Amino acid sequence: MWHRWVSQAAPGFRDERSERPMQLPTPAVAPPLDPRFRPAALANRALRQAAEAAGKSAPLAIALERGDGSISTYRTTAVAPGGPQHEANLEYAERIVKTLLWQRGGWRVIIGGPDGIGEHIRQVYSPSGPRAFDHEFMGGVYEKPFTVDVTDADRVPDTQEATAPLGRHLEGCRIGFDLGASDYKIAAVIDGESVFSDEIVWHPREQTDPDYHYEKIMEGLKMAMAHLPRVDAIGGSSAGVYINNRVRVASLFRGIPKDLFDAKIAGMFVRIGQELGVPLEVINDGEVTALAGSMSLEDNPVLGIAMGSSEAGGYVTPEGNVTGWLNELAFVPFDYQPEAAVDEWSGDRGVGSQYLCQTGVIRLAPAAGIDLSAWATPAEKLKAVQDLMAAGDERVPPIYESIGSYLGYAIAHYADFYELKHVLVLGRVTSGAGGQLIIDRANRVLGEEFPELAARITVSLPDERSRRVGQAIAAASLPAIG
């Protein structure tokens, strides 16, 4: 049941990162509460620089094919035989493949590089390998058996993919929603101006009855409808993978048994649109984050990062379009330390879902001397930390500074895979004074460690209101009318 996630790596298969360690440079702007943090951006850079200095670089090419036949190709370098850190090639390449799978998506990986890398990737991403979760997930999303093909680097196909415009339709009376794990945002919009917005508390993850989700979403839509003379279109965003408005994978529905998921959840948004008789479009929340940034900045390219119950990502190209990529940054690894935090769904270490979201705040709180045991839900725990921050508790700023360090090094890692000019950060974690601490620290990381990136990338927050409901308003612009 791929939509409900795999909880751990396959048993009996060692994670070979512990046997082939890369050189892991210490960050100059370390998270105050996580001194063991070892950024991917520094480790990958150190390996490539060492190989180049020794004249031992070798091409590494990785292509990913998606369900529509489009191909996205990434070309970089690894270490040639006999070069420095040659034994780290396997770990290095595996982490890049992992990043590409969750950034771009694909049911087929075509890889060419130094000897041993391709076969290692095939083994690691097999049903019995430590990345069995990724194998199952990608096969489920694209409804094809996940495969790894090994060839020479110069025989890996070039990129063959198109982009498409997204949203920006502001005319008429519209409703937008953004589904989170603790609450969801709803907005009523007339000709691009919000006339109503609210946040509705819900608890979708533990629910086993799909009618709960349908009824709660309809509750919010009816609230918004009461503030409009009519409804011309509805747009929505949510964590997960959505294809043609159908739910393919989404953590909000992970408590639903597969038969009920297939019967009632997969086509739920298509059903709602039909029942209300209006165009309805729903996409990944990260894409709407990027769209909101592109619309407000009137500039591109934009990488949107939403720090909520998890980390969501979305990307608008230099042309103002979107790709067919997944942009599921919650599963992209950017902490390479062997004892990095473990994601409960995939079983992998060092991925965004443990760092750039409310889980990261909660995970860091004990190191700051803050006991959150009195609060039951993750949303309540985050709110408790935010309340302490507002009250001037000196234990809290290091939490936000640590997340800012994570963000800065994550952006440097993302910059290897995206063309970046603007990074817009949204989500509940950025609310209040802590949000600016995060941004300031991230910019310090870029300035001290990656000055070439700092010179061309702007990292910023929208205003407070946009942080809370901006995605819902941007989502309203998704469907075309007529």
Structure-block tokens of residue 133: 């979760």
CATH number of 173-278: 3.30.420.40
Instruction: Work out the end-to-end distance of the chain between its first and last CA atoms, rounded to an integer number of angstroms.
Output: 38
Question: Is residue 7 a contact partner of residue 375, using CB atoms and an 8 Å limit?
Answer: no
Which DSSP state fits 84? T
Give the span between the Cα atoms of 482 and 470, in whole angstroms.
25
Question: Is residue 214 a contact partner of residue 223, using CB atoms and an 8 Å limit?
Answer: no
Count the Cβ atoms, other than its own, within 10 Å of residue 97: 24
Question: Is residue 408 a contact partner of residue 444, using CB atoms and an 8 Å limit?
Answer: yes
Per-residue pLDDT, 464: 55
Structure-block tokens of residue 62: 């990785």
Question: Is residue 40 a contact partner of residue 336, using CB atoms and an 8 Å limit?
Answer: yes
Give the residue from 404, 358, 403, 354 showing the smallest Cα distance to 385: 358
Q: Looking at domain 288-473, does it have CATH number 3.30.420.40?
A: yes
Residue 461 Rama label (left phi>0; alpha psi -120 to 50; beta): beta
Enumerate the CATH 3.30.420.40 domain ranges in the chain, comma separated.
173-278, 288-473
User: What is the DSSP annotation of 276-289?
Assistant: HTS-EEEEEHHHHH
Per-residue pLDDT, 15: 46
Question: Is residue 266 a contact partner of residue 247, using CB atoms and an 8 Å limit?
Answer: yes
Give the span between the Cα atoms of 222 and 395, in whole angstroms.
42
Which DSSP state fits 335? B
Element at 328 (helix H, strand E): none
Q: Which residues pair with 59 in a beta bridge?
A: 77
45 CB burial (10 A radius; 0-12, 13-18, 19+): middle
Neighbour-count burial for 322-352, b at 16+ CB within 10 Å, e otherwise: bbbbbbbbbbbbbbbbeebbebebbbbbbbb
Count the Cβ atoms, other than its own, within 10 Å of residue 18: 10
Give the span between the Cα atoms of 147 and 135, in whole angstroms.
8
Residue 10 makes CB contacts below 8 A (sequence gap 6+) with: 127, 128, 129, 130, 132
- Backbone phi, psi, residue 282, to 5°: -130, 135
Write down the residue that tokens 């000897």 correspond to.
Answer: 115
Structure-block tokens of residue 362: 């909660």
Which DSSP state fits 180? -
Give the span between the Cα atoms of 174 and 300, in whole angstroms.
25
The residue type found at 199 is E
CB hemisphere CA count around 249 (13 angstroms): 23
Please give the torsion angle defined by the CA atoms of residues 287, 288, 292 and 297, in that order, rounded to the nearest 10 degrees: 10
Give the span between the Cα atoms of 342 and 287, in whole angstroms.
26
**In tens digits, what is the pLDDT along the chain, a chain of 482 residues?**
333 333 344 333 334 444 446 999 999 999 999 999 999 999 999 999 999 999 999 999 999 999 889 999 999 999 999 999 899 999 999 999 999 999 999 999 999 999 999 999 999 999 999 999 999 999 988 989 999 999 999 999 999 998 888 899 999 999 999 898 888 889 999 998 899 999 999 989 889 999 999 999 999 999 999 999 999 999 998 877 888 899 988 889 989 998 999 999 999 999 999 999 999 999 888 788 888 888 888 899 999 998 988 898 899 999 999 888 999 999 999 999 999 999 988 999 999 999 999 999 999 999 999 999 999 889 899 999 999 999 999 999 999 999 999 999 999 999 999 999 999 998 889 999 999 999 999 999 999 999 999 999 999 987 655 554 467 788 999 999 97
| SS3 readout for 346-363 | CCCECEHHHCCCHHHHHH
User: What is the DSSP annotation of 140-174?
Assistant: HHHTS--EEEEE-GGGSPPPB---B-------SEE
Please give the torsion angle defined by the CA atoms of residues 458, 464, 465 and 467, in that order, rounded to the nearest 10 degrees: 50
- Rounded to the nearest angstrom, the gap between the alpha carbon of residue 258 and the centroid of all alpha carbons in its chain is 24
Give the span between the Cα atoms of 358 and 382, in whole angstroms.
6
Question: Is residue 308 a contact partner of residue 357, using CB atoms and an 8 Å limit?
Answer: yes
Question: Is residue 398 a contact partner of residue 387, using CB atoms and an 8 Å limit?
Answer: no
Query: pTM for this one?
Result: 0.87
Give the span between the Cα atoms of 58 and 68, in whole angstroms.
31
Structure-block tokens of residue 31: 């998270």
